[in-house]
Amino acid sequence: MLRRLILGAALCLSGEALAKPPAAGVFCDTYPSAPACTGRQPACTLCHTAPPQRNVFGASLEPHLAPGAARPLSDGDFSMALPAALRAVEAADADGDSASNLEEIQRGTLPADPASVPVEPGLCGTGENSQYDVCRYDPRFAYRRVLLDFCGMSPTYAQVKAFAALSEEGQRALLDSELDRCTTTEFWRGKNGQLWKLAHPKIRPVGSLKAGEDAGPIPLADYYDDYALYAYAQLDGHDAREVMTAKYFVRRQTQPTRYSPVTSLPSQFVEESRRAGNLTSSWSLISFVMFTALPRNAAAQSYRAYLGLDIAKQEGLHSVPGEPRDYDAKGVQAPACAACHATLDPLSYPFRNYNGIAGAASARYVPDRLELFFSDVAPTITQTPEAGYLFGQPVRDLMEWARVGADSDAFAISAVTDYWKLLVGHAPTAEENDEFVATWRRFKDTHGYSVQRMLHDLIRTEAYGAP
Ligand SMILES: [Ca+2]
Ligand SMILES: [Ca+2]
């Protein structure tokens, strides 16, 4: 018997059958150097509008998938048949944009979207733009950009002339020292400065609920604490992962802005052993857990904000066998919901004891929280475990969730993408992919997750410094 779906709580897709969870992995085994596969996996939308509906590229694959075999295919048969089907349509042009499917896959554009086409590398003719060295890294262009992006002001004519007179080595040194100087300014690190802008979609402030400084009419939590931890983790060679893993809080002093770690704040209530950076801040618990028993929204928001994966867009799906168990009886086992909830529910279990809005127990870690406050939600609600899964890997609790997440490629990719969008002006394009991958890999493997050191790489990329 079908249980009625409770809309709003569950994340469901239309249709009966579903996208095959192994599809993204098999695709990347077939095209390991495709931009969609470098450090991540392609979203379901490569082949589907919303699973199971296929887009034009997915539909063109169907007749080549184990032709003659009975439908539906098992996951195993599907995985065996997909590489040959992909190869069979490589020369075709599913979306009619004149670029073959193979060319689009290799250059990182969408084979089912005629608006997404590979751009020819710029024609670097001379005389097109005499002011700048178009198509190649131009230190003068980068210099102007660094002052604008990090200091919020254009260089004066005298500064530009002085810069141009320097040797190549002198120009590089000045770019580095100006970057370091400008990242100490209020424009970069102060309240509502550049770093705070990067934090907005992660924190999702709501002025009417703000407590403390700039309090609103219903003061529930002070999210300036969240901005302070975020900014601290981005600055001065600190480890950017601590936005997810910090056991400390950060106090902000003004004029000039300074951020310093502290062991307690009057506005924060989760004890040290249960803290996971901004995932467990008062504001995150108040605004993302709110009144819910199983905090799926808090889990999905953390996944999106810090790991760059949006489950509602079918990104980062790692179905856990046997899930979702539907402990809170929301009907998420219906096939259209299970596609996302097999990932989302086990992602949410480690939040089970973090309380949202509940009077004196608000924004706290409460052992047996479901037993104490939510036992009437569903007969099986109290069976919800605290252990869960992230990226298909078991995690004991939210601290381990945060640790695994912070150490993942997804974290580094997401963090560097934020700066790429802010500084280059858009998400990395297929043409920029090599520089982008080199930048996030060095951020992770060489720079110890120091944003400051990563920025010195980023301002040297052609993506940033070629006019
Ligand atoms: Ca095409
Ligand atoms: Ca296309």
Question: pLDDT tens, 321-357?
Answer: 999 999 999 999 888 788 889 999 999 999 999 999 9
Specify the pLDDT at position 142.
96
Looking at all shown ligands, the one closest to residue 102's CA atom is 1
Confidence of residue 122 (pLDDT cuts 50, 70, 90): low
Mean pLDDT, residues 248-263 taken together: 97
Confidence of residue 425 (pLDDT cuts 50, 70, 90): very high
Dist. CA 357–CA 210, nearest whole Å: 14
Which of 30 and 204 is assigned the larger pLDDT? 204
Confidence of residue 7 (pLDDT cuts 50, 70, 90): very low
105 CA from centroid of ligand 2 (Å): 9
Residue 165's alpha-carbon distances to 54, 160, 169, in angstroms, are 58, 9, 11
Strands 393-395 and 388-390: antiparallel
114 CA from centroid of ligand 1 (Å): 6
Specify the pLDDT at position 50.
72
58 CA from centroid of ligand 1 (Å): 13
Residue 308's alpha-carbon distances to 18, 262, 303, in angstroms, are 23, 28, 7
Strands 388-390 and 258-262: unpaired
83 CA from centroid of ligand 2 (Å): 20
Looking at all shown ligands, the one closest to residue 114's CA atom is 2
Residue 126 has pLDDT above 50, yes or no: no
Specify the pLDDT at position 335.
80
369 CA from centroid of ligand 2 (Å): 49
316 CA from centroid of ligand 1 (Å): 25
Beta-carbon neighbours within 5 Å of ion ligand 1:
93, 95, 97, 99
Confidence of residue 4 (pLDDT cuts 50, 70, 90): very low
Looking at all shown ligands, the one closest to residue 90's CA atom is 1
433 CA from centroid of ligand 2 (Å): 17
439 CA from centroid of ligand 2 (Å): 27
Residue 8 has pLDDT above 50, yes or no: no
Query: Per the structure block, which two tokens stand in for 415?
Result: 């963090």
Beta-carbon neighbours within 5 Å of ion ligand 2:
95, 97, 113, 116
Count of alpha carbons within 13 Å of 338, Cβ hemisphere only? 17
Specify the pLDDT at position 210.
97
Looking at all shown ligands, the one closest to residue 115's CA atom is 2
Q: What's this model's pTM, rounded to 2 decimal places?
A: 0.83
Q: What is the dihedral of CA 71, 76, 81, 86, to 10 degrees?
A: 110
* For the chain, percent of residues with pLDDT exceeding 90: 72
93 CA from centroid of ligand 2 (Å): 8
78 CA from centroid of ligand 1 (Å): 24
- State the residue for tokens 């120009």: 171
421 CA from centroid of ligand 2 (Å): 22
